[in-house]
Amino acid sequence: MNTTAPTSPPAHDNPLLDFSGLPQFGAFRPEHVTPAIDTLLTQARSAVDKAQADTTPATWTDFVSPLELATEQLGRAWGMVGHLNGVADTPELRAVFNENLPRVTEFWTSVGQNEALFAKYKALSQSAEFTQLSPARRKIVTNALRDFRLGGAELISPARERYAEIQEQQAALSQKFGENVLDATNAFTLDITDDATLAGLPDDALAAARQEAERAGVAGWRFTLQFPSYFPVLQYASNRTLRETLYRAYVTRASSAGTPTLDNTAIIDQILSLRAEEARLLGYDSFADVSLVSKMADSPVQVIGFLRDLAARAKPSAHRDMTELRSFAAENLGLDSLISSDIAFASERLKEARYAFSDNEVKQYFQLPRVLEGLFGLIGRLFDVTISRDTAQTWHADVGFFRIERAGQLIGQFYLDMFSRPSKRPGAWMDDARGRKLISADLQTPVAYLTCNVQAPVGTQPALLSHDDVITLFHEFGHGLHHMLTRVDELGVSGISGVEWDAVELPSQFMENFCWEWDIVAAMTAHVDTQAPLPRALFDKMVAARNFQSGLQTLRQVEFALFDMRLHSEWQGVASHTMTLADAGAATATATATEADEVSSTAGNAVQRLLEEVRAEVAVITPPEFNRFQNSFSHIFAGGYAAGYYSYKWAEVLSADCYAAFEEEGLFNAETGQRFLREILSVGGSRPAIDSFKAFRGREPSIEALLRHNGMVEETFHAPA
């Protein structure tokens, strides 16, 4: 069997049309996008025409495989453009991306509504051949039938045309939402010239701010809303006014408090209205019902019950956390009343007092090169692979490229983009550059993008990571392992493809646990100045503090998830709101410009009221009135987590239970590692996630490990099944 070794020179003048190997980032220019998409759309439409023709048999070889090949090339090229749009944004790239987004969206919508293709998939599913297909191929066919129904293939005009319009509008609005968040983040800077104002900030945060000021040609220190610049101020700055200034700017990004053209309020209303209309067209009560068709959870009611149950378990400890924090702040920090911009600062001081260490002290031991060495060593021990540096064109000089091998055979490769910069959207994520597939004797190995946003190196020092940064890196690498260690050769269900969204976080959250194991941490730490390893005594303090404010942290995630699920499941017909979103959307469509602004404001207020209702139910920290968290909630308005944010907690039940097997059988037990690889990572989406879990654990999921890991042991809990 041959594997594609992606080192061949470009086969085309246009790098987006070269599929001989890795993406040709060095040759890419924005002007390549439109001609490439022209060519690929023509090829894909031709493949669709051939696939739907009466003369094409409804078989895997004649029908499914050729269609998959043509559409995969379009997906890979557009995926490269989309990735660059997220990590190397420029006005030119943004313009050409937005120009082509409707065309690509229209094509995929038309495929999803193609009755002839739908009929052929149904014919294949009912044929004698279907029973002879491999389980992976049967799963692809089954998924396709589901997706055709969700894609509007059974709709009748004019509903079909309206559904297509909705998809294009949603794609454009989601893109605009993300652009507004990025632009609003970049629009704010705060320059400080009085060093007394910066009391309490760690040296590395000051050095980064000084470097930022020098780049901008201004005196003193420059702070931005990029997380590595913003959060140290919240966590360490003694100046309360400085903390509040940064906090207010951060939580009002892309809202009416800033530049009007970057305000996401109306966009939120339009997205929600379109999603509700989509659900009605498809015959569902809500968009949440649509979202859950392809997930493990059965219904919005089940998810909401799960979240409320978890909130009930976490609330007692969260109340204790806040009572203690308020008391400590009043007695030791002179803060008689805590406001939201005080929470991180007071919490860090309390943790230092209780456990005699600070996050910044720990950060000095986590040098990025050493962390990567430890992470790669762990992966090698667990799954019998080796990771080494590789060579490829990248989109930025800071981006690294690596290969994964087993017994000298290439398994997968990945790009690692670690550092924050203005052209890169916030957050951390994994995406696939290409998936694994086998055609004849040629194996296409998977390639992943791994993206984080930590502070870039300052001066001659290597980049330093907080322990939270390390956890985030391990998390995203877990997604990468899921994608790259697959052994499934069918593109539609290899790696992360076809995996239920509320199970896709299992491998990522599983990997986080290793950040709390002494053998792992010791191997990846060395003090930036002395190169001394992390002292065991300091690590023990970190472990003791692991569940520090875990109740508050759990409720924060529940708050976001419950808001998301209620927003998408209860919106139409919630009596407590003065205007349903459907009403707001209809009114906006027929109103004058002034009236539309008023309608948008009313609907926006309704979204805010719903968020406040959720907070009143589950939260113990109430943000200030000006907080507009929802306006930068990209997960659900510009990502794939709409009516799915609960997945983080849902999958955490599964991941904690899987990790418990390693705790029970031995952290580096070779058989346990191979079983996890075989039953979870390798199978991708080729079978239901619950079947993969049970194949690994030999039973249904249990909540016990999650509660134990979070310091919230309870006797009863309704775990997802």
Domain harbouring 71, CATH code: 1.10.1370.40
User: Two tokens at 461?
Assistant: 């020092």
Extract the tokens encoding 375. Answer: 């992470």
* Confidence at residue 327, expressed as pLDDT on a 0 to 100 scale: 97
- My answer on whether 141 and 196 are in the same domain is no
User: Angle at Cα 92 formed by Cα 265 and Cα 252, nearest 5°?
Assistant: 25
Which contiguous run of DSSP H or E holds residue 490? Answer: none
Does residue 10 share a domain with residue 45? yes
Does residue 230 sit in the same domain as residue 268?
no
- Distance from the first to the final alpha carbon of the chain: 39
Query: What does the pLDDT read at residue 439?
Result: 82
User: 104 and 7, same structural domain?
Assistant: yes
**48 and 104 together in one domain:** yes
Domain presence at residue 308: yes
Q: Kindly give, in sequence order, each residue whose CB lies less than 8 Å from that of residue 506, ignoring residues fewer than 6 positions away.
A: 651, 654, 655, 658, 680, 689, 693
Residue 708: the pLDDT is 86
In a shared domain, residues 6 and 121: yes
Q: What is the pLDDT of residues 260-298, one digit of tens each?
A: 999 999 999 999 999 999 999 999 999 999 999 999 999
Spatial contact of 533 and 522, defined as CB atoms under 8 Å apart: yes
Q: Is the residue at 317 inside a domain?
A: yes
Alpha-carbon distance 269 to 277, whole Å? Answer: 12
Residue ending a domain, choose from 596, 619, 637: 637
C-alpha to C-alpha distance for 511 and 476, rounded to whole angstroms? 9
In-domain check, residue 413: no
The answer to whether 483 and 412 have CB atoms below 8 angstroms apart is: yes
- Domain assignment present for residue 156? The answer is no
- Give 421: exposed, middle or buried? Use CB within 10 Å, 0-12, 13-18, 19+: middle
Determine whether 704 is an active site residue.
no
Q: Which of 72, 212, 278, 476 is catalytic?
A: 476
The label of the residue with tokens 């002879």 reads: 132
Last residue of a domain, one of 221, 253, 285: 253
Q: Which of 476, 497, 560 is nearest to 307 (CA)?
A: 560
In a domain, 518, yes or no: no
> Do 245 and 297 fall within a single domain?
no
From CA 307, how far away is CA 557, in angstroms rounded? 9
Q: What is the CA radius of gyration of the chain?
A: 25
Tell me if the bond preceding 135 is cis, omega within 30° of 0.
no
Q: Are residues 97 and 65 in the same domain?
A: yes
Q: Which residues of the chain have pLDDT under 70?
A: 1-12, 572-603, 713-721
Domain range holding 283? 262-357+550-637
In terms of DSSP H, where are the helices of 485-526? 506-512, 518-523
pLDDT of residue 601: 55
627 found inside a domain? yes
What's residue 596's pLDDT?
41
Residues 631 and 575 in one domain: yes
Assess whether 633 and 601 both reside in one domain: yes
Domain co-membership, 227 together with 353: no
Judgement on whether residues 232 and 289 belong to the same structural domain of the protein: no
Which H/E stretch holds residue 286?
none
Q: 444 with 436: CB under 8 angstroms?
A: yes
Domain boundary (570, 602, 637) is at 637
Q: Is residue 199 part of a domain?
A: yes
DSSP secondary structure of 101-134: HHHHHHHHHHHHT-HHHHHHHHHHHTSHHHHHS-
pLDDT in tens, 402-415: 999 999 999 999 99
Helices 581-590 and 265-282 cross at an angle (nearest 10°) of 110
- Which ranges of 113-239 would DSSP assign to H, the alpha helix? 115-125, 128-132, 135-150, 159-187, 203-216, 227-236
Beta strands 409-419; 442-444: pairing state: unpaired
Smallest CA-to-CA distance from 560 within 444, 685, 645 is with 645
Report how many domains make up the chain.
Answer: 3
Read off the CATH number of the domain in which 302 is found.
Answer: 1.10.1370.10
Residue 658 in domain: no
Cite the beta strand spans of 390-473 per DSSP E.
400-406, 409-419, 429-434, 437-439, 442-444, 447-454
